[in-house]
Amino acid sequence: SLPGEQLSRSAWALYWLGNSHVQNASTSAREWLIKANDAFVQNGDVIGRLLSAAAILRSIHFEYRTFEPMDQWIAQIDADLAAAPVFSNPADELAVHSAVLLVVIYRLPDHGNQMASMTRIAELLDAPIDVNRRVSAAFVLLLAHTQAHRNDAALHLVNQVEPSLGDPSLTALNRAYWWMLVGYLHH
């Protein structure tokens, strides 16, 4: 309900608007997220750039058509991560590293930051964060382990995440994604 003029002046408002539509309208969400990213670039906001690029990668994943557009955004994330940014909370860092793994899974299996992101996700899963963000990140990590046939690591992760599945604030979508992938692992 914010006027368009008001939205266009706030990179964070554009980011949250885009983020709120990633799962149900990925193309329009991506347009807002790209505008937010452009504003973050102009403002010199590294964390904003990282988060908006990560959300753009998630929108490409949810659209599930072609993964070539991921290249531009992973290049930006790689450059920004190389500067060793300080995240204000573990959930944001988890979102960025999870997006890196999406690129590894769907586009660039030999990506240089693969192991660093996998390690960092595993470390951050025990941080005090929203259960939905935890399970979403664990889902990506589980998929990476499963596709690489790292079954011991995948089973360890399943056991690590299991206590979170009973949390009443875990959405049905995240619960369904999790169980779908656990089934895929066992298949």
CA distance 156 to 154: 5
Structure tokens at 174: 């995240």
Q: What is the pLDDT of residue 15?
A: 92
What is the Cα gyration radius of the chain?
Answer: 16
Ramachandran category for residue 31: left, alpha or beta (phi over 0 → left; psi -120 to 50 → alpha): alpha
Instruction: List phi, psi (to 5°) of 150.
Output: -95, 70
Q: What is the pLDDT of residue 181?
A: 94
Residues of the chain scoring pLDDT < 50:
none
Q: What is the pLDDT of residue 68?
A: 92
Query: Kindly report the CA angle at 171 between 167 and 108, in degrees rounded to 5?
Result: 110
Q: What is the pLDDT of residue 6?
A: 75
- Predicted TM-score (pTM) of the model is 0.88
Q: What is the pLDDT of residue 145?
A: 93
Q: What is the pLDDT of residue 114?
A: 83
